[in-house]
Structure formats: C-alpha cells, structure tokens
Amino acid sequence: MRSRHHRLRILGAAAAVAVLGGTAGMSSAAAADVSPLPIQPHQTFVGQVNGVTIDAVVKVGCFGPVTSTSTGHPMAGQTVSVQLVSGIVPDKATVGYTGESADHVLVAFGNPASAAPTTEIKAYGLQVAIPTTLDLPCFGTGTVGFIPAPTSATAQTATVDVTYVSVGAVPAS
C-alpha cells in the first residue's frame, strides 16, 4: 500500500511540474496552455507562427539566384496555431477577439484584409501545418492574419509579424 501511495505522490508531483513547466515556458504572449479547446464566441486570443507570437520566422525554400520579387514555398514542418489569452499581453503582440459568433479562425499570409485564407483552425492549442503549396517571399517581412469566422461586428483579427528566411539561396547582389 505504501509503495502505491508513494508512486501516486511522485506521479502527482511530476504532473504539477509538467503543468508549471508548460506555464513557465509559454510563448511571448501570455497564452494559456490548453490542449485542444474549441474556439468559441467572446474569447481573446493570439496567433502563433512556429510557436511564437512575436518575431516569428518562416523558412521558405528558394533555389537559384533570388531577387526582391522572388517567391518560394514554405518548408515542411512549420505550423500556425491560436492560443487563448490569459494575463498580460506584451506590447508587441496583436490580440484578436472572436466576437459574437466565431467558432474557428482562418489564417491568411499577407494583408489579412485582402489575402485569401489558406488554413482553418478549430481549436486552441492545435498546431496546423502551414501549407507547403503557398507562394511566399524568399526573404523580407510580412504579416500573418488570424481571422475569426464567422465574423461579427465585434470580431477582431490577430496578426503576427513574420520574417521570411530563404533556405537554399541568398539574395542576388
């Protein structure tokens, strides 16, 4: 009986460390650590690109000489996600709000007001692959928009500024 009780205490302590460790290692926007939680109306959230809200990097496969207008495809293994906000959000983070009716978030690379959404996220804490079929700049900066849907008058898009980094080529001189 004692050894069983001892094991339960150790497992409980390990679970507490895992939860607290997950909280201490949160990304840059005080996002709540959830595994997956459905998106619902009246929630504040942040978008994440490759696990971060601020200073995100997207690796793009560009081969041969590239110019300022060259594009390539995102490398596999990169993700977007949304996280429920809890606590104070850093100044650089742009939060979103699901508004009156949103139950999912659409992700758009480029100007969120005009770019076609490429990915749909239905739950917080769920990492969704960035499609490798997108055409993205080989280098430079951009914005990824996280758009609540269906939209409402109170819905607000979250954005993440990204830096595109070419893998396989360097800018032509």
Instruction: Please compute the mean of the pLDDT values over residues 19-26 and round it to a whole number.
Output: 35
Whether 115 shows a pLDDT value over 70: the answer reads yes
Query: Which helix H or strand E contains 44, and what residues bound it?
Result: strand 44-49
Mean pLDDT of the chain: 82
71 in Cβ contact with 49 (< 8 Å): no
The Cα angle at residue 55 between residues 54 and 60, in degrees rounded to 5 = 130
Whether 12 shows a pLDDT value over 70: the answer reads no
pTM: 0.76
Q: What is the pLDDT of residues 77-104, one digit of tens each?
A: 999 999 999 877 767 889 999 999 999 9
56: amino acid identity, one letter: A
Query: How would residue 161 be classed by pLDDT, with cut points 50, 70 and 90?
Result: very high
Instruction: Please compute the mean of the pLDDT values over residues 99-128 and round it to a whole number.
Output: 91
Whether 31 shows a pLDDT value over 70: the answer reads no
Instruction: Please compute the mean of the pLDDT values over residues 54-79 and round it to a whole number.
Output: 93
Q: What ranges do the domains of the chain cover?
A: 28-167
